[in-house]
Amino acid sequence: MNLKDIHNVFFIGIGGIGMSALARYFNYIGKNVIGYDKTRTPITDELVSHGIVVHFEDKVDLIPDACKQRENTLVIYTPAVPSTHSQLQFFRSKSFEIKKRSEVLGIITKDTFCFAVAGTHGKTTTSCILAHLLKESGTPLTAFLGGISEDFNSNFVLEGTEYSVVEADEFDRSFLQLSPDVACITSMDADHLDIYGTSEELQQSFRDFVAKIKPSGMLFVRNGLPLQGATYGIEDGSDYRIENILIEHGTYIFDLITPKEVLEQVRFNKPGRHNLLNGLAAFAMAVQAGSPPHRLAKALGTFKGVQRRFSYQIQDSDFTFIDDYAHHPTEISAVYNAIKEMHPNEQITAVFQPHLFSRTQDFADDFAESLSKFDMVLLLEIYPAREEPIKGITSTWLLDKIENPRKKLVSKSNLINEIKNCRTGVLVTMGAGDIGMEIPKIKKELAYAS
């Protein structure tokens, strides 16, 4: 497929965070971009504001005539869309060029120096930090991000085309479409078992991804993972490591050790040891672009963050509200540890919306263990996303497993009242479903109440 011959790009699922970044790219290079999504969101509103046509009904007659010309139209779809989707069926029946998002990313980045960030946790934050570091060091890059970077106020960055930054997503084995020059793997915890079946199969897919790195390329792995590559870690003898950590007014100050030098008094503002590791991985990767290490270290201190990744919503003297995308037990535990490190003496209320029936079923005991650490738990109903319900797998079933006397199943409609009734020193909302849509309302009500 030659992108130069494509005039129209039709997206099925255009409102997804990864899909919308691609839509922005094609719109920026002058293609006619149209898309369908199930629900109107701030992301689709933003796309429309840039001249992209978006509709919200699955009807074939909403496909513009221009996009019914097979020879110059590319169709991009997300695996979350069911095969029964009418528009997808239409394009398939007419033998259109139809590709998944990951395939298109592979085509776009093929002729660039490609940085790919893989791992079951930390991809979005690491890739956003990497894009920030490269931009601050003057590297010409294009970045497709899985979250809204607060430094760019976007999930798409176009500051040049020589280098590219992408998230290498293990879902549906999407990352096997990439051929990166530099890659990192942040974690390999079991997830997406509805796709892989076993954790062993998931780990094999990461080994297959490593095999896709160009022969002259470089791999970074978090120390302890069962892969061969340059290691990074905290106070553990890794090739790239952080030592002598201090916390000053919510900011980490530390020494950054590389194979060639020691960078002292480096600053980083995102709470949590997991975020320190994300920053370190991004730094190690950015060095491979030839950027001066001292300049990169300084840029670590100016990284603002990613929306819904340990995002402070309210910071008052007696109350803190944090929002995070955490949707896996390991991520929930990382959020808990970060809060305890930065707010050691505060009572913590957790609001959690489980994401997917299959993930809830696969990791129920681990979810219960991680949630039990909090002082109070408010549990929402499971967000189904692409799935049909699984008999017996409900939030009530999960709630029963949580060993915490202060726990409650709540509805979204009554969530704010419940939060007000049990308000503690720190409130944290977590989940990958539509809980993110509730955050502005919660913030507004709590700010008004205080």
Residue 1 reports pLDDT greater than 80: no
Tell me: the pLDDT tens digits for 68-79? Answer: 989 999 999 988
DSSP string, 162-225: SEEEEEE--GGGGGGG---SEEEE-------HHHHSSHHHHHHHHHHHHTTS-TT-EEEEETTS
Q: What residue spans define the domains of the chain?
A: 3-100, 110-300, 311-449
Q: What is the mean pLDDT of residues 403-408?
A: 94
Report the distance separating Cα 282 and Cα 134, nearest Å: 9
Is 80 exceeded by the pLDDT of residue 65?
yes
Output the pLDDT for position 79: 80
Residue 393 to residue 407: CA distance in whole angstroms = 18
Locate 297 and state its tokens: 């270290």
- Answer whether residue 431 shows pLDDT above 90: yes
Helix (H, G, I), strand (E, B) or coil at 70: helix
Average pLDDT, the chain: 93
Mean pLDDT (whole number) for 113-141? 95
Question: What is the share, in percent, of the chain residues with pLDDT greater than 90?
Answer: 83
- The CA–CA distances, whole Å, from 254 to 134, 200, 274, 292 equal 21, 36, 15, 18
> What CATH number belongs to 110-300?
3.40.1190.10
Q: What is the mean predicted confidence (pLDDT) over 223-252?
A: 95
Mean pLDDT of 339-366: 94
pLDDT of the residue at 333: 96
Which architecture, in CATH terms, is 311-449? Alpha-Beta Complex (3.90)
Q: Calculate what percentage of the chain has a pLDDT beyond 70.
A: 97
Which residues touch 97 (CB under 8 Å, ≥6 apart)? 1, 6, 70, 73, 74, 75
450, pLDDT greater than 60:
no
What is the CATH code of the structural domain delimited by 3-100? 3.40.50.720
Query: 430: helix, coil or strand?
Result: strand
Q: What tens digit of pLDDT does each residue of 250-298 get? A: 899 999 999 999 999 999 999 999 999 999 999 999 999 998 999 999 9
DSSP 8-class letter at 60? G
DSSP alpha helices (H): ranges in 191-324?
193-196, 199-210, 273-287, 293-300
- Reply yes or no on whether the pLDDT at 192 is more than 60: no
Instruction: Dump pLDDT digits (tens) for 9-21.
Output: 999 999 999 999 9
Task: For residues 119 and 186, give the distance between their C-alpha atoms in angstroms, rounded to a whole number.
Answer: 5
Give me the DSSP letters along 367-424.
Answer: HHHHHTTSSEEEEPPPB-TT----TT--HHHHHHH---SSEEE--GGGHHHHHHHT--
Residues in the chain: 450
